[in-house]
Amino acid sequence: MVVFIKSNYLFLLASLATFVSFTWFLLAPDFEPVVTSLLGLITSVSLRPKDWMLVRSRSIRQDLPEQFYNDKLETKAGFIIDNVVPLNEDKNQFKFGWGKGSLEHKDKSVEFEVPKPSFSKSEYREKVKVRVVMSTLHNTYGEGQHYLYVYIPDKAPVCFYQFEGICAEITVVDIDNDGFPELIVGYKCGAHSEGIRVFKFDKQLNFYFVEGSDIGSDFPLITWGRTPNGSFFINSYSRNWEADREKYHSVYEKYIVKSSQFILDSTSKVRWKDS
């Protein structure tokens, strides 16, 4: 009962005022008590409790959402599955598959194994399971806040990066084939813009930003893959703003890894096959 009163005190005050106005009209009929009675009645109806039959159960359950008591709800671990797709069925070039799941308010994570740090060359290097979690907080207005955490056995969780974006995705790729996968972070930062960043997971199990990998696209489309010789690349496609934009729909920049950083290797104009 106390919970009901606290939750609906405005309705109770309006009802009391309506009762007083009706009493006033009965004792002294006039124009003013008629007006106050009508206003009180309208206010009471607008503030009425929406669930008269659930007042008792709401009091017991402390007004928690109905789905909170659903025993059939299943929780998901949030592991990312199939969020990366080939570009035009090209198995050598991939991109993030932006879909409805990208906008869902839930944590996403990837797990992978890396060699355990060792200071002895002769020591057998065991595998350590690492988990990277991207936790997202959506704002009422503006872009959401994304936090990247790394979880390593026998170590405290570390938040190594924070950024803003409408939505974001993560995946891991061993760019340099050293057994320590790099983390690729993609994010939407506007209706027609997309960005990507790459983080290196070093042999001491620390994450750091790979210089030159802060790449953007206004097409928007960013892809990655390997050249025939096995080297890793990132392609960033942007809209063609030049005079020949009717002939070529986009311009792409190819970035490759050199001296532990991404550098611009080449640029080209693109006409898509289906155009």
Q: What is the pTM of this model?
A: 0.68
Mean pLDDT of the 161-183 span: 92
| Residue 200, pLDDT score | 95
- Identify which of 231, 236, 234 has the alpha carbon closest to the alpha carbon of residue 218: 236
70-84, 100-114, 192-206: which is most confident: 192-206
d(CA 236, CA 204): 31
The CA–CA distances, whole Å, from 63 to 3, 58, 178 equal: 9, 5, 54
d(CA 80, CA 98): 13
CA dihedral 113, 118, 121, 124 (to 10 degrees): -50
pLDDT band at 171 (very low <50, low <70, confident <90, very high): very high
Q: Higher-confidence residue: 46 or 127?
A: 127
Distance in Å from the first CA to the final CA of the chain? 68
- What are the domain boundaries of the chain? 2-69, 84-270
Mean pLDDT of the 259-268 span: 93
d(CA 98, CA 171): 13
pLDDT band at 106 (very low <50, low <70, confident <90, very high): confident
Q: What is the pLDDT of residues 30-41, one digit of tens each?
A: 888 888 888 888
Task: Give me 183's structure tokens.
Answer: 């983390």
Is the pLDDT at 266 greater than 50? The verdict is: yes
The share of the chain scoring above pLDDT 90, in percent, equals: 36
Mean pLDDT of the 49-72 span: 41
Q: Mean pLDDT in the chain?
A: 81
d(CA 96, CA 165): 15
Residues 6+ apart with CB under 8 A from 259: none
Share in percent of the chain as helix, strand, coil (round to 5)? 20, 40, 40
Peptide bond into 115 cis (omega under 30): no
Is the pLDDT at 122 greater than 60? The verdict is: no
d(CA 81, CA 95): 14
| Residue 54, pLDDT score | 40
The share of the chain scoring above pLDDT 70, in percent, equals: 81
| Residue 6, pLDDT score | 63
Q: What is the pLDDT of residues 215-226, one digit of tens each?
A: 999 999 999 999
